[in-house]
Structure 1
Amino acid sequence: MAINLSKGQKVDLTKSNPGLSKITVGLGWDTNKYDGGKDFDLDVSVFLTNAAGKVESEKNFIYFNNKQNENGSVVHTGDNRTGEGEGDDEQIAIDLNSVPANVEKIAFTITIYEANERNQNFGQVSRAYARILNEATSQELIRFDLGEDFSVETGVVVGELYRHSGEWKFNAIGSGYRDGLAGLTRDYGLA
Protein backbone atom coordinates (compact mmCIF):
# COMPACT_ATOMS: atom_id res chain seq x y z
CA MET A 1 0.00 0.00 0.00
CA ALA A 2 1.30 3.43 -0.94
CA ILE A 3 2.41 5.96 1.65
CA ASN A 4 0.50 9.23 1.16
CA LEU A 5 2.67 12.23 2.02
CA SER A 6 1.89 15.76 3.09
CA LYS A 7 3.94 18.79 2.09
CA GLY A 8 7.25 18.80 3.96
CA GLN A 9 7.16 15.11 4.84
CA LYS A 10 10.19 12.91 4.22
CA VAL A 11 10.02 9.17 3.86
CA ASP A 12 12.48 6.36 3.31
CA LEU A 13 12.32 4.62 -0.06
CA THR A 14 15.02 1.95 -0.34
CA LYS A 15 15.49 1.00 3.31
CA SER A 16 11.88 -0.14 3.66
CA ASN A 17 11.94 -1.72 0.18
CA PRO A 18 15.12 -3.88 0.20
CA GLY A 19 16.47 -4.66 -3.25
CA LEU A 20 14.51 -1.84 -4.90
CA SER A 21 16.56 -0.27 -7.67
CA LYS A 22 14.34 0.48 -10.66
CA ILE A 23 11.52 2.93 -10.07
CA THR A 24 9.16 5.04 -12.14
CA VAL A 25 8.22 8.52 -10.96
CA GLY A 26 4.85 9.44 -12.41
CA LEU A 27 3.55 13.01 -12.38
CA GLY A 28 0.06 14.06 -13.34
CA TRP A 29 -2.34 17.00 -13.32
CA ASP A 30 -5.60 18.37 -14.66
CA THR A 31 -6.33 21.90 -15.82
CA ASN A 32 -9.41 23.79 -14.73
CA LYS A 33 -11.88 25.27 -17.20
CA TYR A 34 -10.05 28.08 -18.91
CA ASP A 35 -11.29 30.53 -21.52
CA GLY A 36 -7.99 32.14 -22.52
CA GLY A 37 -8.03 30.45 -25.90
CA LYS A 38 -4.63 28.74 -25.50
CA ASP A 39 -3.86 25.14 -24.64
CA PHE A 40 -2.05 24.24 -21.45
CA ASP A 41 1.28 22.45 -21.87
CA LEU A 42 2.83 21.42 -18.57
CA ASP A 43 6.31 19.96 -18.59
CA VAL A 44 8.25 17.82 -16.14
CA SER A 45 11.92 18.71 -15.68
CA VAL A 46 14.39 16.86 -13.49
CA PHE A 47 17.48 18.38 -11.89
CA LEU A 48 20.26 16.02 -10.76
CA THR A 49 22.26 17.98 -8.21
CA ASN A 50 25.35 17.67 -6.07
CA ALA A 51 25.26 18.00 -2.26
CA ALA A 52 25.13 21.81 -2.61
CA GLY A 53 21.92 21.56 -4.65
CA LYS A 54 23.55 22.62 -7.94
CA VAL A 55 23.53 20.87 -11.31
CA GLU A 56 27.14 20.24 -12.36
CA SER A 57 26.52 19.53 -16.07
CA GLU A 58 23.82 20.34 -18.66
CA LYS A 59 23.44 16.55 -19.09
CA ASN A 60 22.05 16.46 -15.54
CA PHE A 61 19.12 18.72 -16.48
CA ILE A 62 16.52 16.35 -17.93
CA TYR A 63 13.47 17.57 -19.85
CA PHE A 64 11.68 16.97 -23.17
CA ASN A 65 14.75 17.98 -25.25
CA ASN A 66 17.34 16.14 -23.11
CA LYS A 67 15.63 12.91 -22.15
CA GLN A 68 18.40 11.27 -20.10
CA ASN A 69 21.53 11.86 -18.09
CA GLU A 70 24.99 10.74 -19.27
CA ASN A 71 24.79 7.10 -18.17
CA GLY A 72 21.06 6.65 -18.80
CA SER A 73 20.17 6.01 -15.15
CA VAL A 74 17.49 8.75 -15.24
CA VAL A 75 15.23 8.83 -18.33
CA HIS A 76 12.29 11.10 -19.22
CA THR A 77 9.86 8.87 -21.13
CA GLY A 78 8.31 11.67 -23.23
CA ASP A 79 6.44 14.96 -23.35
CA ASN A 80 2.65 14.98 -22.98
CA ARG A 81 1.51 18.24 -24.53
CA THR A 82 -2.13 18.14 -23.47
CA GLY A 83 -2.41 16.41 -20.08
CA GLU A 84 -5.53 14.67 -21.38
CA GLY A 85 -6.69 11.33 -20.04
CA GLU A 86 -6.32 9.44 -16.80
CA GLY A 87 -3.14 8.41 -15.01
CA ASP A 88 0.34 9.86 -15.19
CA ASP A 89 0.88 12.67 -17.69
CA GLU A 90 4.67 12.27 -17.76
CA GLN A 91 7.04 9.69 -16.26
CA ILE A 92 10.70 9.43 -15.29
CA ALA A 93 12.38 6.01 -15.15
CA ILE A 94 15.25 5.75 -12.66
CA ASP A 95 17.78 3.02 -11.89
CA LEU A 96 18.78 4.08 -8.37
CA ASN A 97 21.80 1.75 -8.26
CA SER A 98 23.27 3.38 -11.40
CA VAL A 99 22.80 7.05 -10.48
CA PRO A 100 26.32 8.59 -10.52
CA ALA A 101 27.90 8.99 -7.08
CA ASN A 102 28.22 12.79 -7.45
CA VAL A 103 24.41 13.09 -7.71
CA GLU A 104 23.01 13.59 -4.21
CA LYS A 105 19.51 14.79 -5.12
CA ILE A 106 17.05 14.25 -7.95
CA ALA A 107 14.50 17.09 -7.98
CA PHE A 108 11.21 16.77 -9.88
CA THR A 109 9.57 19.95 -11.16
CA ILE A 110 6.54 20.88 -13.24
CA THR A 111 6.43 24.09 -15.24
CA ILE A 112 3.86 25.65 -17.59
CA TYR A 113 5.24 26.12 -21.08
CA GLU A 114 4.98 29.77 -22.23
CA ALA A 115 2.98 30.57 -19.08
CA ASN A 116 3.44 34.34 -19.27
CA GLU A 117 2.64 34.56 -22.99
CA ARG A 118 -0.46 32.43 -22.48
CA ASN A 119 -1.46 34.13 -19.19
CA GLN A 120 -1.51 30.78 -17.35
CA ASN A 121 -0.49 29.75 -13.83
CA PHE A 122 -0.85 26.93 -11.31
CA GLY A 123 -4.01 28.52 -9.94
CA GLN A 124 -5.60 27.00 -13.05
CA VAL A 125 -4.14 23.52 -12.40
CA SER A 126 -5.78 20.94 -10.15
CA ARG A 127 -5.16 17.42 -8.90
CA ALA A 128 -1.39 17.64 -9.45
CA TYR A 129 0.53 14.75 -7.92
CA ALA A 130 3.72 12.73 -7.95
CA ARG A 131 3.98 9.04 -7.25
CA ILE A 132 6.79 6.52 -7.10
CA LEU A 133 6.26 3.01 -8.45
CA ASN A 134 8.34 -0.13 -8.20
CA GLU A 135 9.12 -0.69 -11.89
CA ALA A 136 9.22 -4.49 -11.53
CA THR A 137 5.77 -4.82 -9.93
CA SER A 138 4.05 -1.50 -10.86
CA GLN A 139 3.20 -1.20 -7.15
CA GLU A 140 2.71 2.39 -6.01
CA LEU A 141 5.08 2.98 -3.07
CA ILE A 142 4.74 6.71 -2.40
CA ARG A 143 2.18 9.34 -3.42
CA PHE A 144 2.18 13.10 -2.88
CA ASP A 145 -0.87 15.15 -3.87
CA LEU A 146 0.10 18.81 -4.22
CA GLY A 147 -3.26 20.28 -3.26
CA GLU A 148 -4.54 23.68 -4.38
CA ASP A 149 -2.02 25.95 -2.64
CA PHE A 150 -0.92 27.79 -5.76
CA SER A 151 -2.21 30.89 -7.52
CA VAL A 152 0.30 32.95 -9.55
CA GLU A 153 3.10 30.37 -9.72
CA THR A 154 4.24 29.06 -13.13
CA GLY A 155 6.58 26.37 -11.79
CA VAL A 156 6.57 23.93 -8.87
CA VAL A 157 9.27 21.83 -7.23
CA VAL A 158 7.16 18.77 -6.50
CA GLY A 159 9.70 16.76 -4.51
CA GLU A 160 13.11 15.20 -4.53
CA LEU A 161 14.82 11.89 -4.07
CA TYR A 162 17.98 12.25 -2.00
CA ARG A 163 20.72 10.08 -0.60
CA HIS A 164 20.94 9.64 3.17
CA SER A 165 23.36 7.19 4.82
CA GLY A 166 23.58 5.07 1.66
CA GLU A 167 19.81 4.87 1.17
CA TRP A 168 17.37 6.87 -0.97
CA LYS A 169 14.60 8.92 0.62
CA PHE A 170 11.84 11.14 -0.81
CA ASN A 171 11.04 14.68 0.33
CA ALA A 172 7.58 16.07 -0.54
CA ILE A 173 8.40 19.74 -1.23
CA GLY A 174 5.49 21.38 -3.09
CA SER A 175 7.22 24.75 -3.47
CA GLY A 176 5.98 27.21 -6.11
CA TYR A 177 7.98 29.51 -8.40
CA ARG A 178 6.55 32.69 -9.93
CA ASP A 179 9.22 32.77 -12.63
CA GLY A 180 8.79 29.15 -13.73
CA LEU A 181 11.58 27.34 -15.53
CA ALA A 182 13.85 30.42 -15.60
CA GLY A 183 13.75 30.62 -11.79
CA LEU A 184 14.29 26.90 -11.38
CA THR A 185 17.29 26.74 -13.71
CA ARG A 186 18.78 29.77 -11.96
CA ASP A 187 18.36 28.29 -8.48
CA TYR A 188 19.76 24.93 -9.58
CA GLY A 189 22.88 26.63 -10.97
CA LEU A 190 22.22 26.48 -14.71
CA ALA A 191 21.54 30.15 -15.50
Structure 2
Amino acid sequence: MDPTKPDTNQQEQYGAPAPPDSQPPATGIPVSSAPQYPSNYPQPPSGARVAWSTGLFDCFADAKTCCITFWCPCITFGQIAEIVDRGSTSCGTSGALYALIAYFTGCACFYSCFYRSRLREQYMLEQSPCWDWLVHCCCETCALCQEYRELQNRGYNMVLGWNGNLQQQNRGVAMAPAAPTFEQGMTR
Protein backbone atom coordinates (compact mmCIF):
# COMPACT_ATOMS: atom_id res chain seq x y z
CA MET A 1 0.00 0.00 0.00
CA ASP A 2 1.37 3.39 -0.98
CA PRO A 3 1.42 5.66 2.12
CA THR A 4 1.24 8.81 -0.01
CA LYS A 5 -2.19 7.93 -1.41
CA PRO A 6 -5.29 8.05 0.80
CA ASP A 7 -7.16 4.83 1.52
CA THR A 8 -10.32 5.06 -0.61
CA ASN A 9 -12.17 2.60 1.63
CA GLN A 10 -11.63 4.85 4.65
CA GLN A 11 -12.39 7.89 2.53
CA GLU A 12 -15.80 6.48 1.59
CA GLN A 13 -16.54 5.31 5.13
CA TYR A 14 -15.58 8.51 6.98
CA GLY A 15 -15.96 11.09 4.23
CA ALA A 16 -12.36 12.32 4.42
CA PRO A 17 -9.02 10.91 3.37
CA ALA A 18 -7.15 9.00 6.04
CA PRO A 19 -3.69 10.21 6.95
CA PRO A 20 -0.94 7.72 6.11
CA ASP A 21 -0.04 7.13 9.76
CA SER A 22 -3.63 6.65 10.99
CA GLN A 23 -4.68 4.21 13.68
CA PRO A 24 -6.03 0.73 12.84
CA PRO A 25 -9.81 0.44 12.52
CA ALA A 26 -11.87 0.38 15.68
CA THR A 27 -12.74 -3.01 17.15
CA GLY A 28 -15.76 -1.96 19.18
CA ILE A 29 -13.79 -2.25 22.42
CA PRO A 30 -13.12 1.11 24.06
CA VAL A 31 -9.40 1.62 24.44
CA SER A 32 -7.93 4.43 26.45
CA SER A 33 -4.32 5.16 27.17
CA ALA A 34 -5.33 6.84 30.41
CA PRO A 35 -5.84 4.60 33.44
CA GLN A 36 -9.40 3.96 34.51
CA TYR A 37 -10.33 4.77 38.09
CA PRO A 38 -13.58 4.17 39.94
CA SER A 39 -15.39 7.37 40.91
CA ASN A 40 -14.68 6.81 44.62
CA TYR A 41 -10.90 6.46 44.06
CA PRO A 42 -8.71 9.58 44.39
CA GLN A 43 -7.72 10.89 40.97
CA PRO A 44 -3.98 11.51 40.48
CA PRO A 45 -2.64 14.48 38.54
CA SER A 46 -2.02 13.81 34.86
CA GLY A 47 1.09 11.64 34.34
CA ALA A 48 1.77 11.25 38.08
CA ARG A 49 2.42 7.87 39.66
CA VAL A 50 0.34 6.92 42.69
CA ALA A 51 1.14 4.68 45.63
CA TRP A 52 -0.37 1.20 45.97
CA SER A 53 -3.55 1.21 48.05
CA THR A 54 -2.01 -1.33 50.47
CA GLY A 55 1.52 -2.25 51.40
CA LEU A 56 3.43 -5.27 50.15
CA PHE A 57 3.45 -6.90 53.57
CA ASP A 58 -0.22 -6.25 54.40
CA CYS A 59 -0.98 -9.86 53.44
CA PHE A 60 -2.95 -10.62 56.58
CA ALA A 61 -5.33 -7.73 55.96
CA ASP A 62 -7.21 -10.34 53.90
CA ALA A 63 -6.39 -13.65 55.61
CA LYS A 64 -8.55 -15.74 53.25
CA THR A 65 -6.74 -14.52 50.12
CA CYS A 66 -3.40 -14.86 51.90
CA CYS A 67 -4.08 -18.54 52.71
CA ILE A 68 -5.32 -19.34 49.20
CA THR A 69 -2.31 -17.60 47.68
CA PHE A 70 0.14 -19.37 50.00
CA TRP A 71 -1.23 -22.86 49.27
CA CYS A 72 -2.32 -22.39 45.66
CA PRO A 73 -0.95 -19.19 44.10
CA CYS A 74 -2.22 -20.22 40.65
CA ILE A 75 -5.79 -19.38 41.74
CA THR A 76 -4.94 -15.85 42.84
CA PHE A 77 -2.70 -15.30 39.84
CA GLY A 78 -5.42 -16.49 37.43
CA GLN A 79 -7.91 -14.03 38.91
CA ILE A 80 -5.41 -11.17 38.67
CA ALA A 81 -4.39 -12.05 35.10
CA GLU A 82 -8.00 -12.19 33.88
CA ILE A 83 -8.68 -8.65 35.15
CA VAL A 84 -5.35 -7.24 33.94
CA ASP A 85 -5.86 -8.85 30.51
CA ARG A 86 -9.42 -7.43 30.49
CA GLY A 87 -10.97 -10.80 29.78
CA SER A 88 -8.78 -11.78 26.82
CA THR A 89 -7.54 -14.79 28.81
CA SER A 90 -9.56 -16.68 31.35
CA CYS A 91 -8.73 -17.20 34.99
CA GLY A 92 -8.43 -20.95 34.42
CA THR A 93 -6.07 -20.63 31.46
CA SER A 94 -3.75 -18.17 33.19
CA GLY A 95 -3.80 -20.14 36.44
CA ALA A 96 -3.06 -23.41 34.65
CA LEU A 97 -0.17 -21.87 32.75
CA TYR A 98 1.20 -20.45 36.00
CA ALA A 99 0.92 -23.88 37.65
CA LEU A 100 2.68 -25.59 34.73
CA ILE A 101 5.52 -23.08 34.76
CA ALA A 102 5.85 -23.46 38.52
CA TYR A 103 5.81 -27.26 38.32
CA PHE A 104 8.30 -27.65 35.47
CA THR A 105 10.68 -24.73 36.10
CA GLY A 106 9.95 -23.42 39.59
CA CYS A 107 10.14 -19.89 38.14
CA ALA A 108 6.52 -18.82 37.87
CA CYS A 109 7.55 -15.60 39.59
CA PHE A 110 9.00 -14.34 36.29
CA TYR A 111 5.66 -14.93 34.58
CA SER A 112 3.69 -13.21 37.34
CA CYS A 113 6.04 -10.20 37.51
CA PHE A 114 5.06 -9.45 33.90
CA TYR A 115 1.47 -9.00 35.10
CA ARG A 116 2.57 -6.82 38.01
CA SER A 117 4.26 -4.52 35.48
CA ARG A 118 1.12 -4.40 33.34
CA LEU A 119 -1.05 -3.66 36.38
CA ARG A 120 1.28 -0.83 37.39
CA GLU A 121 1.15 0.69 33.92
CA GLN A 122 -2.64 0.43 33.67
CA TYR A 123 -3.17 2.27 36.96
CA MET A 124 -0.02 4.45 37.00
CA LEU A 125 1.26 2.82 40.20
CA GLU A 126 4.69 3.43 41.64
CA GLN A 127 7.31 0.73 41.29
CA SER A 128 7.75 0.08 44.98
CA PRO A 129 9.38 -1.10 47.15
CA CYS A 130 11.75 -2.19 44.35
CA TRP A 131 11.73 -3.63 40.82
CA ASP A 132 8.79 -5.87 39.89
CA TRP A 133 10.93 -8.92 39.17
CA LEU A 134 12.69 -8.61 42.53
CA VAL A 135 9.40 -8.24 44.40
CA HIS A 136 8.07 -11.40 42.76
CA CYS A 137 11.29 -13.41 43.13
CA CYS A 138 11.63 -12.63 46.84
CA CYS A 139 8.01 -12.25 47.97
CA GLU A 140 5.77 -14.01 45.43
CA THR A 141 2.89 -14.61 47.85
CA CYS A 142 2.97 -11.06 49.22
CA ALA A 143 3.16 -9.58 45.71
CA LEU A 144 0.17 -11.57 44.46
CA CYS A 145 -1.85 -10.65 47.56
CA GLN A 146 -1.00 -6.97 47.09
CA GLU A 147 -2.06 -7.04 43.44
CA TYR A 148 -5.29 -8.85 44.36
CA ARG A 149 -6.10 -6.26 47.05
CA GLU A 150 -5.26 -3.40 44.67
CA LEU A 151 -7.79 -4.63 42.11
CA GLN A 152 -10.38 -5.19 44.85
CA ASN A 153 -9.82 -1.67 46.17
CA ARG A 154 -10.35 -0.33 42.66
CA GLY A 155 -13.84 -1.81 42.62
CA TYR A 156 -13.36 -5.23 41.02
CA ASN A 157 -15.10 -8.27 42.46
CA MET A 158 -12.30 -10.75 41.85
CA VAL A 159 -14.55 -13.81 42.12
CA LEU A 160 -16.73 -12.62 39.22
CA GLY A 161 -13.85 -12.18 36.78
CA TRP A 162 -13.75 -9.65 33.96
CA ASN A 163 -17.05 -10.54 32.27
CA GLY A 164 -18.90 -10.72 35.57
CA ASN A 165 -17.63 -7.28 36.52
CA LEU A 166 -18.73 -5.89 33.15
CA GLN A 167 -22.20 -7.38 33.58
CA GLN A 168 -22.44 -6.00 37.08
CA GLN A 169 -21.36 -2.57 35.85
CA ASN A 170 -23.88 -2.67 32.97
CA ARG A 171 -26.72 -3.50 35.36
CA GLY A 172 -26.24 -0.05 36.85
CA VAL A 173 -27.10 1.55 33.49
CA ALA A 174 -30.71 2.71 33.36
CA MET A 175 -32.78 0.92 30.75
CA ALA A 176 -36.00 2.05 29.15
CA PRO A 177 -39.02 0.27 30.58
CA ALA A 178 -40.62 -2.36 28.41
CA ALA A 179 -44.10 -1.82 26.99
CA PRO A 180 -46.76 -3.05 29.42
CA THR A 181 -48.39 -6.39 28.70
CA PHE A 182 -51.98 -7.19 29.43
CA GLU A 183 -53.39 -10.59 30.12
CA GLN A 184 -56.35 -11.37 27.98
CA GLY A 185 -59.28 -13.42 29.04
CA MET A 186 -60.69 -16.37 27.15
CA THR A 187 -61.46 -15.73 23.52
CA ARG A 188 -63.29 -17.81 20.93
The TM-score, its normalising length taken from structure 1, stands at 0.26
Larger radius of gyration: 2
Q: Which has the higher helix share?
A: 2
- Asked which structure has the greater RCO (Cα within 8 Å, sep 6+), the reply is 1
The TM-score, its normalising length taken from structure 2, stands at 0.26
